[in-house]
Structure 1
Amino acid sequence: MQKSIYRVFIICFSLLSTISYAQVTAIQNIQSRKILSLNGKWNYIIDPYENGYYDYRHEPFDQSKTGTGGFFDDRVQKDKTELIEYDFDHSSLMNVPGDWNSQLEKLELYEGSVWLRRKFDAKPEKGKKYYIYFAAVNYEAHVYLNGKKLGVHKGGFTPFQFDATNKLKAGENSIILKVDNTRKQDEIPTVNTDWWNYGGITRDVYLAEFPDHFIADYKLQLVKGNNNLVSFSVKLADATANQEVTLSIPELKLEKKYKTDGEGKIADEFIWNNLSLWSPENPKLYGVNIKTDKEDINDKIGFRNIEVRGDSIYLNGKSIFLRGISVHDENPLLAGRLRSEGDMRMMLQWSKDMNCNYVRLAHYPHNEEMIRLADEMGLLVWAEVPVYWTISWTNPATYANAKQQLTDLIVRDKNRASVIVWSVGNETPLSDARLSFMSNLVETARTLDDTRLVAAALEVHREGNTMVLNDPLGEKIDLVSFNEYAGWYWGGTPAEITKYDFNIKYNKPVVVTEFGGDALGGFHADENTRWSEEYQEALYKNQITLLSKIGALRGMTPWILTDFRSPRRQHPIYQNFWNRKGLISETGKKKKAFYVLKDYYNQMQAKYK
């Protein structure tokens, strides 16, 4: 027994000593730093057997005695006798950012490893620090610079960076990634999802240059419950004392000077009257500057307050109804993740066309640019991590992964006024282990940011004609937020669902996070014919009647804005690998139910003026 424990210890120690995992949290506001974009055309090698990572005994090359032998060496033949079984220079090219599934027909359903390489020139300066920053890579990324491993990151939707200072060369450099999007039971998300598993470097890549003692993180927002008390904090990348930091907001003629404490931190609260508060009707953003003798960081920040009182939600002290819609990070018109500001603006504008003031960005962190656009366009945001369906609730590594993804989401977006809800998961089944897992995530969210609401998309169960919500997680979160699919997965035809009632245990605002049904755009029939626009239209009309029975109803995000791709949806006529619950088709045409929801939101806007 002792020998077995010792052997496990040696194996674990060996792995820890050879693998560098990504940072605790990503650097705030990378776009405002000195950056070199590494976007563009990258060479790629498809490696389903992972020949470039493991030797024939299935031992990782980068953990061998020499630390060489894998594709990350980026070798070229020196003479005609040398055996090399790969060649990046003559490999095909792929767009980065971009997923491989939508760029290459033969990789449409591929899940596995792909190597990607980019060469770039650099001029590193003494006394400066250099990081390779990735806005997102799905899912597991092994990162190498000039043949040396920078580290490993897991998680497909959150940013990460590695310190490249000691491995960056003057002149030409080679960065190589092994990216693996294989679904696994113990990961976040797990093996079973209802969206396309797009693999690759799906968001921006930068080489970022920093001075010593740089600002790694900052926060500027109102203290919860107070519309003129501002909280400001800064954290340097190291524990440097007496670093002078200046905060200024020119439009307000505000300028405050600070010096960091012994931990390299600043924390302050101050009164500032006459702030123009951010709201969907007034998406006011102030230009903010945070400056040291070596850095000059600019941001656009709005100030607002969100809170729950009893069964109502208050934005800046005014009761509000969340007129929302759920959204995936996918362009229905062009396969793949949303690629550009234009793609993202299109999705948010479609939401506003429906008279939404709110979007649920499901089921994972969306692009940071999406959140900044929501700030600009005046849309409140529910932001979520992919703790989805059935997770490995008792695996400590799975929980650590989920906690890290939630932390990275909150750190990245905590200065965005649009974000009002941190969601810790979606449709997770009841159990003691799950309650502990989810409760700990709720506590993590509150510890990291006490100014926003914390929620999760729960499930209801049926007792006769009553939908019951008594999930014990409801005691710990701020909203009674749940999904229900009466009229589609159960409950009969659309006309029959109004017979149901609700039994909700908690006296909190109710925000229905999902309901809906599929409709093939352009297919018309009577309202009892599945897959027709008329069926979906009738379903929405009767859902609105059904949900209006809930006295504490304070918002909804029906499923979903647009049709989206999913390997789970296989009917050859009506689905063909598409989830058709969108209110807008894959051609961009608004279905009949779109106008039902828009009419309802017009009514709710008038009611909550």
Structure 2
Amino acid sequence: MFTEACCRLRKILLPTLSIALLFSSFAVVAHAQTSDTTLLVDIDHRAATSLDGDWHTIVDPYSTGLYNFHHEIKADGYFMNGTKAYNGEPLEYNFALSPTLKVPGDWNTQRRDLFYYEGVMWYEKDFKYSPKPNTHTFIHFGAANYRSHVWVNTKAVCEHEGGFTPFDCDVTGVVKDGDNFVVVAVDNTRSADGVPTLQTDWWNYGGLTRDVSLVDVPQQFIDDYDLHLSRANHDLIEGYVHVEGANPGTDVTVSIPELHATTHATVGTDDRADIKLPVKSLSLWSPDNPKLYKVNLASGSDHLEDEMGFRTIETRGTEILLNGKPIFLRGVSVHAEAPYRTGRAYSEKDVDTLLGWAKEMGCNYVRLAHYPHDQRMTRASDRLGILVWSEIPDYWALQFDNPAVLAKSKQQLGEMIRRDRDKASIILWSVANETPDTEARTKYLTTMANLTRQLDPTRLVTAALLVKTQKTATGSNKIVDDPLGQALDVIGTNEYIGWYEQKPAGADTTTWDIHYQKPVIMSEFGAAARAGHHGPATERWTEEYQADVYKHQIPMLNRIPQLRGTSAWVLMDFRSPMRTLPGLQDNFNRKGLISDQGEKKQAFFVLQKAYKDKTLGKAE
């Protein structure tokens, strides 16, 4: 069964890949009758019925809820949400008697016995509903890590792979008036053909990690749009509105009441209406002026109201131009780790805390590593005037020669761009972090970079590259010649002088040889320290050592002619299973400038002073 509003995104990105192949590594859903997911944009501005709260859960490491002991599909699997014996056999599960977990939320930090758990978790929630005539009904998932399959009232409605991007299951005709239930099997088992792959330097938080809701839309509904300021004419907003199910000639209206600007267009044979909206006296969005306008979109009975800023971003030689003027990006990298409670960040409080710290440090930019963060982060960045680097988890050693893996990367890229293209704050789409320099990798990521421009030609494409080190008579030379740089608009580079190589003073005698006349962002640099651990500046893991690394880094960074931005690693300590040193790491990456409990380390103030005094980076 395929939904009526089947996903245009997958038709574009996965033309040769069957859904069965896409999910073949997920034992829980490989058997099931597959259905497509769609992806509604601007979901946070639609009327919705929240399904957040307590969900009954069953831990199922052996997929017992699906298979019997001969590995045959059960007719009465957990997705049936049964309460009676089947064919005289005893029923050995009961959601109503099972413990609950909070949604949104990861399971690892909610229950101590699930802290290290990787496997299948079954979620179930009862809900009441009254279907409305002449509407489509969707269940929206903000994110579920990593593979998910969804049943409503025992019917399979959709499946999805990818832990950080949203998806919507069309349940029109499946939900009924009165009592309903939804069952979701979520599997966070790492796999070699996953995106990301087996090894990551962050915690593999499993579960329904972002909001879940029911959304009604008309029979013909706006499911995608792109409105942006013309680079050539700052008095023109251009783009398109896509209306799912619309007939050619259907009217579309776009207006910005504050600017007294309105335009009408008609849908073509591709369900898309091209938009050209002249505007006067437009206040351009920037970190110093994060102006947002209410934008109304309407077609037939469907109406949306977004809040959008308008600006241009481009490069000229080695400069990054915001609204036609050079800008230096003073920033920090951020993981989606929740302050204080830890676990996956998802709430407004999490967002306000993390971005509040970035603003306090003097940042005008954040790198959201290493996957798409909750939409609250990008919405808040719009409001606060923080520029954003957004990234998909093409991280470290993917199977770059595997077409199925490439298809998964394409899917996640498309979902990230589609969700967030209305955010003025996002200026950089990143296609990778620290990948090996191989022919297969370069071909794979060049394909990703080209697809990024196809999906969104209005923003810049980047990736965080590794660099080569060459010893010299006076110190060392860092060489940036990764062939992937040819496919990028902005070169990101990661380096850890003073931590993974050399002493902190090694930065004093380091030169940089960058083989591209393009803007460069030092996308990672830093060192680790446990908050409150003090000692001489020569002693690793102390706040003093970490601060000393930054003191040596800043002059070196200022000697790089092409440098147009920095995103220190990292804003806050975050959980990582790779970091096991007792008493110092304790399953945390300690490179944070702030601890997970909000303690600011000495290095925070070193970087804060450099940013606020503008002694790091070229002054605009």
Q: Which TM-score bucket, shorter chain as reference?
A: over 0.9
Q: Which moves more between the two structures, 52-61 or 579-588?
A: 52-61
Write out aligned runs for 1:201-216 (5 A). Answer: 201-216=208-223
Q: Which amino acid aligns with 1:168?
A: V
CA distance in 1, matches of 2:357, 2:23: 52
Q: Does 1:598 align with 2:608?
A: yes
2:160 alignment partner in structure 1: 153
Q: Does 1:355 align with 2:362?
A: yes
Q: Deviations over 1:277-327 (max 9, x none)?
A: 000000000011112331221110000011110111111111110000000
CA distance in 2, matches of 1:28, 1:577: 36
Contact (CA 8 Å) 1:225, 1:307: kept in 2 or not? no
C-alpha displacement at 1:81, in angstroms?
A: 6.0
CA distance in 2, matches of 1:14, 1:160: 15
C-alpha displacement at 1:21, in angstroms?
A: 4.9
Are residues 354 and 53 of structure 1, via their aligned partners in 2, closer, same or farther at CA, if it must alter by over 3 Å? same
Taking structure 1 as the reference length, the TM-score comes to 0.94
1:196 alignment partner in structure 2: 203
Q: Which amino acid aligns with 2:55?
A: W
Are residues 18 and 176 of structure 1, via their aligned partners in 2, closer, same or farther at CA, if it must alter by over 3 Å? closer
2:92 alignment partner in structure 1: 85
Q: Which amino acid aligns with 1:419?
A: I
Write out aligned runs for 1:566-581 (5 A). Answer: 566-581=576-591
Taking structure 2 as the reference length, the TM-score comes to 0.93
Q: Which amino acid aligns with 2:39?
A: A
Contact (CA 8 Å) 1:22, 1:160: kept in 2 or not? no
1:5 alignment partner in structure 2: none
Contact (CA 8 Å) 1:319, 1:608: kept in 2 or not? no
Please point out which of 19, 22, 38 is paired with 2:51: 38
SS in 2 for 1:234: strand
Q: Does 1:467 align with 2:478?
A: yes
CA distance in 2, matches of 1:170, 1:224: 50
Contact (CA 8 Å) 2:76, 2:82: kept in 1 or not? no
Q: Which amino acid aligns with 1:244?
A: D
C-alpha displacement at 1:350, in angstroms?
A: 0.2
1:447 alignment partner in structure 2: 454
C-alpha displacement at 1:257, in angstroms?
A: 2.1
Q: Which moves more between the two structures, 246-255 or 181-190?
A: 246-255
Paired residue total: 592
CA distance in 2, matches of 1:530, 1:13: 45
SS in 2 for 1:585: coil
Q: Which amino acid aligns with 2:517?
A: N
Q: Which amino acid aligns with 1:20?
A: T
Contact (CA 8 Å) 1:21, 1:153: kept in 2 or not? no
Cα RMSD, aligned residues only:
1.9
Please point out which of 582, 585, 588 is paired with 2:598: 588
Q: Deviations over 1:427-482 (max 9, x none)?
A: 00011100011000001100001110000000001111111110001011011211
| Percent identity over paired residues | 44
Are residues 180 and 403 of structure 1, via their aligned partners in 2, closer, same or farther at CA, if it must alter by over 3 Å? same
Contact (CA 8 Å) 2:201, 2:576: kept in 1 or not? yes
2:513 alignment partner in structure 1: 503
Please point out which of 488, 492, 500 is paired with 1:489: 500
Contact (CA 8 Å) 2:243, 2:299: kept in 1 or not? no
2:416 alignment partner in structure 1: 409
Are residues 21 and 504 of structure 1, via their aligned partners in 2, closer, same or farther at CA, if it must alter by over 3 Å? farther
Contact (CA 8 Å) 1:26, 1:160: kept in 2 or not? yes
Write out aligned runs for 1:29-108 (5 A). Answer: 29-61=42-74, 68-77=75-84, 82-108=89-115
Q: Deviations over 1:218-251 (max 9, x none)?
A: 1111123442221131111124222222211110
Q: Which amino acid aligns with 1:535?
A: Y
Are residues 607 and 189 of structure 1, via their aligned partners in 2, closer, same or farther at CA, if it must alter by over 3 Å? closer
Q: Deviations over 1:314-348 (max 9, x none)?
A: 11111110000000111131121113111101100
CA distance in 2, matches of 1:430, 1:418: 31
Contact (CA 8 Å) 2:56, 2:124: kept in 1 or not? yes
2:567 alignment partner in structure 1: 557
CA distance in 1, matches of 2:335, 2:48: 29
Q: Which amino acid aligns with 2:182?
A: I
Q: Which amino acid aligns with 1:339?
A: Y
CA distance in 2, matches of 1:78, 1:115: 20
C-alpha displacement at 1:125, in angstroms?
A: 2.5
CA distance in 1, matches of 2:138, 2:274: 26
SS in 1 for 2:96: coil
CA distance in 1, matches of 2:31, 2:319: 52
C-alpha displacement at 1:273, in angstroms?
A: 2.9
SS in 1 for 2:417: helix
CA distance in 1, matches of 2:116, 2:186: 15
Are residues 17 and 575 of structure 1, via their aligned partners in 2, closer, same or farther at CA, if it must alter by over 3 Å? closer
Q: Does 1:322 align with 2:351?
A: no
Q: Does 1:311 align with 2:321?
A: no
2:6 alignment partner in structure 1: none
1:26 alignment partner in structure 2: 39
1:64 alignment partner in structure 2: none
SS in 2 for 1:89: helix
Q: Which amino acid aligns with 1:574?
A: L
2:541 alignment partner in structure 1: 531
Please point out which of 510, 515, 518 is paired with 2:525: 515
C-alpha displacement at 1:369, in angstroms?
A: 1.1
Please point out which of 420, 425, 438 is paired with 2:432: 425
Superposition misfits of 4+ residues, deviation over 3 angstroms: 11-19, 78-82
2:8 alignment partner in structure 1: none
Q: Which amino acid aligns with 1:481?
A: G
CA distance in 2, matches of 1:406, 1:270: 28
CA distance in 1, matches of 2:489, 2:22: 42
C-alpha displacement at 1:255, in angstroms?
A: 1.7
CA distance in 1, matches of 2:233, 2:589: 43
Contact (CA 8 Å) 1:123, 1:170: kept in 2 or not? yes
1:478 alignment partner in structure 2: 489
CA distance in 2, matches of 1:104, 1:471: 44
CA distance in 2, matches of 1:192, 1:12: 23
Structure 1: state its 5+ residue gaps.
1-8, 62-67
SS in 1 for 2:108: helix
Q: Does 1:118 align with 2:131?
A: no
SS in 1 for 2:97: coil
Q: Deviations over 1:117-144 (max 9, x none)?
A: 0000111123211111101000000111
CA distance in 2, matches of 1:13, 1:37: 29
Please point out which of 547, 551, 557 is paired with 1:547: 557
Contact (CA 8 Å) 2:155, 2:174: kept in 1 or not? yes
Are residues 56 and 242 of structure 1, via their aligned partners in 2, closer, same or farther at CA, if it must alter by over 3 Å? same
Contact (CA 8 Å) 2:76, 2:86: kept in 1 or not? no
C-alpha displacement at 1:79, in angstroms?
A: 9.9
Write out aligned runs for 1:151-300 (5 A). Answer: 151-300=158-307
SS in 2 for 1:557: strand
Structure 2: state its 5+ residue gaps.
1-17, 25-29
